[in-house]
Copies of this chain bind each other. A is one copy, B any other.
């Protein structure tokens, strides 16, 4: 045991703050790079160059390239979680559905690479760490609870809803990047889904809920 003076503690804190700040800087640069070069186009050399470092120095902050992806994955899910938590509480089904759909489709449309990282699994061998995955689980749970709040509680209903939103999102990302071609379909999609769900008891729907 070495005795830690108050001064030591302060130094450690400062160092830690600095360390985290640099990490943040690297991750911001990484977001920028995957945004322009594609998620799979990220290279540690280029990343190091972008933050004015030697590639080897990145290892002080991230133990591997996958670790960088893992932090981006956590980042993206945290951003999404914050937005979901900002959804106005309401018992108006259509209004909640519209907010949620707009949130997801916008989120997807804003950053193709982020969408790819969070929702498609396109990086060979990349698996988020348990800690990062926990945030993704939280996103899912939060989204599910918002939907449950307006009566969409069944597995089938929820799956159908996520399919509708995923469809608008993936089409927006793949076929209308930067535009609003599928964002403009949200009102239609919500009306379509809501009428189907409301219009009839679960028992007579094509698939049992």
Report A's interface with B, CB cutoff 8 A. Answer: 37-41, 116, 119-125, 156, 159-160, 162-168, 170-171, 173-174, 181-182, 184-185, 187-193, 195-196, 199, 205-207
Contacts and interface: CB of A to CB of B under 8 A. Distances in A.
Main secondary structure of the interface of A (DSSP, over half): helix
B159 A163 contact: no
Name which of A125, A163, A206 has the most chain B CB atoms within 10 A of its CB.
A163
A120 B170 contact: yes
A75 to B, nearest CB: 20
B206 A40 contact: no
A36 to B, nearest CB: 10
A62 to B, nearest CB: 20
Query: In this complex, which of A37, A124, A188 has the most chain B Cβ atoms within 10 angstroms of its Cβ?
Result: A188
A139 to B, nearest CB: 14
A159 B171 contact: yes
Given A160-B192, A163-B167, A163-B185, 15 more contacts: A37-B124, A40-B124, A116-B120, A120-B170, A159-B182, A160-B189, A162-B167, A163-B171, A167-B167, A185-B207, A188-B205, A191-B206, A195-B196, A195-B199, A196-B196
A163 B105 CA distance: 12
